[in-house]
Amino acid sequence: MGTPGEKVLPRQEWLALAREHEAAVDRLTVGHRQRRQHGARHPVEDFLFEYYPHRPTHLRRWHPGAGVALADAGDVYAQRSGYLVDEEDTARLDLATFLGRRERTLTFVKELLEATLSRPGTFDCFGLHEWAMVHRLDPGQQRHAQLPLRLTQEETDGVVEAHRIRCSHVDAYRFFTPDAVELNSLRPTRETQRDLEQPGCLHAGMDVYKWCFTLAPAVPSELTLDAFVLAREIRELDMAASPYDLTDYDIEPVAIETPDGKAAYVARQRRFTARSNALRRQLLDVLDPLLPR
């Protein structure tokens, strides 16, 4: 039985939406899927499937989200985890089971998103987290050892040491080299994530995608896909502003070691902040009604 305000999509309509979503994901992931067959890697396009445990097949699976039911859907959704199919062959989110398994995660994500939205963005980090990940390393020790550095190692180290490092994101900070850890003015941890996360952070912007797929199938796939697209664009800036040379991938550097490069970085960072905040608000609109009052 449905709930008050529930929207029921006829089979023809939801099938069309599902196929449209699958086609969009296929277009966005074709390069990644082809490279996997040949053992090749792309530092931007493949990153989201390496950094996050969400494969293209998962992203391709369409979910209508909470509050939307699908008519004549038993043949597709009866065997899908997270759904109930009633005697009229209508499928909908199994909210009780979802909350039983995910309420703690849902609460954490909701509080994190609200805390992030409550703060102004910080726009003076200049993507130096990637530089701090290679600080004072020997050749071949870098996380992306297949990529050459734009500057010499000595010059790269000098960039790190000439700036104030203020990384607020735990999953960026944990990859800092031992020498760079001491240069960071913050000490982000999983326990302090809600206290430190701020919307100007590129990694926090990418993580909106993580929160969407983590809370599937309650989150509509359209929102998850929008977050994926944004995360991929953010990752391109992340690497363009890094110490690595990505010109072989047609990615021109954003030279944050120069005034012009800093200005270019901040301009793009501000645009990403506005977009990620809009997605945070949309995700909160999905999550708020799910928690027991």
Is there a contact between 201 and 170 (Cβ–Cβ < 8 Å)? Answer: no
pLDDT given for residue 2 in this prediction: 57
Could you read off the pLDDT of 176-212 as tens digits, one per residue?
999 999 999 999 999 999 999 999 999 999 999 999 9
Distance CA 92, CA 9 (A): 11
Whether 45 has a pLDDT exceeding 60, the answer reads yes
Whether 37 has a pLDDT exceeding 90, the answer reads no
Question: CA–CA distance from 127 to each of 77, 229, 262 (Å)?
Answer: 43, 20, 9
Is there a contact between 180 and 24 (Cβ–Cβ < 8 Å)? Answer: no
Q: Is residue 103 part of a domain?
A: yes
Distance CA 197, CA 58 (A): 27
Q: Is residue 95 part of a domain?
A: yes
Q: Is residue 149 part of a domain?
A: no
Q: What percent helix, strand, coil does the chain show, rounded to 5?
A: 55, 5, 40
pLDDT given for residue 155 in this prediction: 97
Q: Is residue 138 part of a domain?
A: no
Could you read off the pLDDT of 111-166 as tens digits, one per residue?
999 999 999 999 999 999 999 999 999 888 888 888 999 999 999 999 999 999 99
pLDDT given for residue 39 in this prediction: 82
Which residues have a Cβ under 8 Å from the Cβ of 273 and sit 6 or more positions away? Answer: 121, 199, 200, 205
Q: Is residue 204 part of a domain?
A: yes
Across 4-155, the runs of DSSP E, i.e. the strands, are 7-9, 68-70, 83-85, 91-93
CA 219 to chain centre: 14
Residue type present at position 11 = R
Name the β-bridge partners of 91.
70, 85
Q: Is residue 186 part of a domain?
A: yes
Q: What percent of the chain has pLDDT over 70?
A: 99
Whether 280 has a pLDDT exceeding 90, the answer reads yes
Mean pLDDT computed over every residue of the chain: 95
Nearest of 226, 233, 205 to residue 125 by alpha carbon: 205
pLDDT given for residue 5 in this prediction: 77
Q: Is residue 164 part of a domain?
A: no
Whether 286 has a pLDDT exceeding 80, the answer reads yes
Question: CA–CA distance from 4 to each of 10, 33, 69, 98 (Å)?
Answer: 18, 42, 12, 19
Residue type present at position 85 = V
pLDDT given for residue 176 in this prediction: 97
Which has more pLDDT, 258 or 39? 258
Whole domain around residue 120: which residue ranges?
A: 7-131+170-290
Which pLDDT band, with edges at 50, 70 and 90, does 4 fall under? low
pLDDT given for residue 293 in this prediction: 73
Could you read off the pLDDT of 91-108 as tens digits, one per residue?
999 999 999 999 999 999
Q: Is residue 215 part of a domain?
A: yes
Is there a contact between 85 and 77 (Cβ–Cβ < 8 Å)? Answer: yes
Per the structure, the count of domains in the chain is 1
